[in-house]
Amino acid sequence: MATIAIAAPHPAAIEAARQVTAAGGGLIDAALAAAAALTVAYPHQCSIGGDLVALVRDGAHGTVRTVLSAGAAAAATDPAPLRAAGHRMPPGGPHTVTVPGVVAGWAELARLGARLPLARTLVPALALADGGVAVSEGLARAIRNRLDVVRADPGLSALLLDKAGEPLSVGATLVQPALAATLAELSDDWRHFYTGPTARRLVAGLRERGSLLDAADFAGHRAENTAPLSATRNGVTWWVAPPPSQGAALLAVLGRGGDPLTAARQAELRRDALLGDPRSGAVDIEGLLLRAERDIAALPAGPRPAGDTVAVTAVDDEGNAVALIQSVFQSFGSGIADPATGVVLHNRGSAFSLDPAHPGALRPGARPPHTLCPALATAPGRVVSLGCQGGRAQAWILSQVAEDLLDAPAPKDVLARPRWVIGSRDLDRAHPTLVLEPGTPDAGHLTAVALRLGLEVAGTAGPHDEAGHVQTARLRAGEVDAASDPRADGTTAVLTGSARR
């Protein structure tokens, strides 16, 4: 029997993992059960109406694969009306919904080594949707912060407001019968989300709102099983997802030495200018990795949307590992909850550029540039899985903890340390800004560098969501452990599961 360490940003996810490992599940089953539970308990950050990117390590062979289930824009997409309406993509609404990839991503992950049928893995999530789950502090905060969006959408209002029309408070019971029915349908056959009754209801609801997505767009979605990007530095190999994920930005910063803020800013500007979908055109990997000089001053910059995400990380004592991220992008995604299915739909399309010269330009069938940035690290005697909430800032957040997590006696102490983050619109800032939590190491030096780089500088009153919710699990010296960021509502567990992943 394998021993599994797992971390997730909500206790319901860990309980779901515990249930499926008790039923004979292994590492991948545990990660999938946690991910499914989060789509019920954390609808502000993830949903089966969102996308998924994951890394999976096979401990027996030492190989790593990427599951990239990022949905595409409609085949009938015409950027012209959106260009006429404004210079950037809208932040929400039906035109920002691309085909959701989460469910196909789950199925591909299960194919890589699940021990239980996907229907069994979904049982805890279905029970949460049907019986209810307590509203967490993070969800209650998100409802308050986006109350205008919640009130503007009938589906979100019915889901997240009480009978008096007020936001659900911490501890209130969130019951989602329509979502429970959808999960039951997907338990029968996950393909229903793309070609069956679930797909028909979703497409009908979206088209009523003006979306161009149709049945063929849903039916055409496939999760991509592909090789990751990797880099070896100082005896440690780092693994990240390839484009359209921004994983290259993390590799660009890790292990470079020198000034981390300058490297992060360079990587940020490169990502904004160079990241796109390799299925739709060439993507400059060397430029993204900061391995080649590029003059990006004249290139069109990508949009700077906000983002929200959940990470599930799991490692077992046989060296198998999963780093999984799924999200609806901005809190509550597009601002649409489909009443017929209970599905909150993401706004990944808001990350497209409307400039036709940009590699991430809105095109028929293209996938948008993606913030999701899971990572794995391998070194002699060590395997580390990590991921975080943090939108476009995920690479800079992870870069501040990743190397220390390899050997730190207590990973929870690493995650609790004050952090810095850079961004602009994604951090609700009008201009590019360095944001510092109180007690951030080398704050004076970072401030001086930020001003030299033309960044504004701001602080937070304490630990803050903007600094990310990191989840990590690791194998070190034959023992597994995990840590969950204190900025989130999460926890960890060490479980006994099936010996074969």
**DSSP string for residues in 388-456:** EE-GGGHHHHHHTTHHHHTT-S-HHHHHHS--EEEESGGGT-SS-EEEE-TT-TTHHHHHHHHHHTT-E
Neighbours of 428 (CB within 10 A): 12
Nearest Cα residue to 7 out of 386, 372, 381? 386
Decide: residue 460, CB within 10 A, 0-12 exposed, 13-18 middle, 19+ buried: middle
**DSSP string for residues in 143-173:** HHHTHHHHHH-HHHHHHHB-TTSPBPPTT-E
Q: What angle do CA 333, 282, 79 make, to 5 degrees?
A: 45
Run of H or E including 131: helix 123-131
Tell me how far apart the terminal alpha carbons of the chain are, to the nearest angstrom.
10
Could you say which of 182, 309, 378, 492 is catalytic? 309
SS3 category, 287: helix
Q: Which residues contact 291 (CB under 8 A, 6 or more apart)?
A: none
Which 8-state DSSP code applies to residue 322?
E
Buried b (16+ CB within 10 A) or exposed e, 363-376: bebbbbbbbbbbbb
Neighbours of 294 (CB within 10 A): 17
The first and second tokens of residue 474, run together, are: 């690791």
Task: Give 3-state DSSP helix, strand, coil % of the chain, rounded to 5.
Answer: 35, 25, 40
The CA–CA distances, whole Å, from 333 to 120, 245, 320 equal: 28, 18, 32
The CA–CA distances, whole Å, from 368 to 46, 186, 279 equal: 17, 26, 11
SS3 category, 55: strand
Cβ distance 321 to 56 under 8 Å? yes
Residue 309 is a catalytic residue: yes
**DSSP string for residues in 78-113:** -HHHHHHH-SS--SSSGGGPPPP-HHHHHHHHHHTT
**If you count them, how many residues does the chain have?**
501
What is the C-alpha separation between 446 and 419, in angstroms, rounded?
A: 11
Catalytic residues: 309
